[in-house]
Amino acid sequence: MKTIISVIALTLAPSWSASGKAYFFTRSELIQKASVIAIVTLEEPVKAKPAAGDAQDPFAEDSATGKNWVYWKQAEMHVEKVLKGTIPGDVILYGDESFICAQCTLSKGRFLAFLTKDGDLWVGANWQLSLRSIQDNEVEWYVSEDQRFPMKFQKMDDVVAQIQAALKKQQSEQAGAGQPATRSESKSDGNQSPKPESEGRSR
């Protein structure tokens, strides 16, 4: 059934590229485009439950439907500290989406999370880059600006300082350009469609 839904989703999305390749953000892009950046703890993932209005859909069993994707897993997420944006302290995070080329795979643990919203659902901002694992006060993070993989564990304080510096720079640039400094360009409001491949398709 998952395969059927994935094929249907790929068929119906007019702005997706023919190759169906996922776009992975650079370090700066991930910081800029995430609606929320936070240190979080995820509980053990479970099968996703249909959201309100999905119960009538025969393909919605054991899944939740956003505006752009179908999600097979969900996990309780406890927010410890917010570095960017606004989010309640406890929410449900959805992952393991129906896109066959890349997913935000949920697992129990502590993470530096980069989040956005797909319709009413909280989801990862950029596939598997969305949840950066935290272990012993170190976080799995970019080695350089453009090198997406592999990453390595680095001191949490250093990574947080790097993110805060990037956000401060972004706010200064937006203020200088006469743009609001409190919101990044993202799909958090669910009013945009996935970008074509030529623009770099993220979610």
Q: Who has greater pLDDT, 99 or 154? A: 154
Considering only 24-28, 35-39, 40-44, 179-183, which range has the smallest mean pLDDT? 179-183
Distinct helix (H) and strand (E) counts, the chain: 3, 10
Question: Would the pLDDT of 55 be above 60?
Answer: no
Q: What is the mean pLDDT of residues 53-81?
A: 84
Q: What is the mean pLDDT of residues 9-35?
A: 70
User: What is the pLDDT, as a whole number, of residue 100?
Assistant: 83
| Cα dihedral across residues 91, 96, 99, 103: positive or negative | positive
User: What is the pLDDT, as a whole number, of residue 180?
Assistant: 58
Q: What is the mean pLDDT of residues 152-169?
A: 97
Q: What percent of the chain has pLDDT over 90?
A: 63
User: What is the pLDDT, as a whole number, of residue 20?
Assistant: 63
- Quick one: fold of 21-177? OB fold (Dihydrolipoamide Acetyltransferase, E2P) (2.40.50)
Full-model pTM: 0.77
Domain borders along the chain are 21-177
Quick one: pLDDT band at residue 21, thresholds 50, 70, 90? Answer: confident
CB atoms within 10 A of CB 131: 26
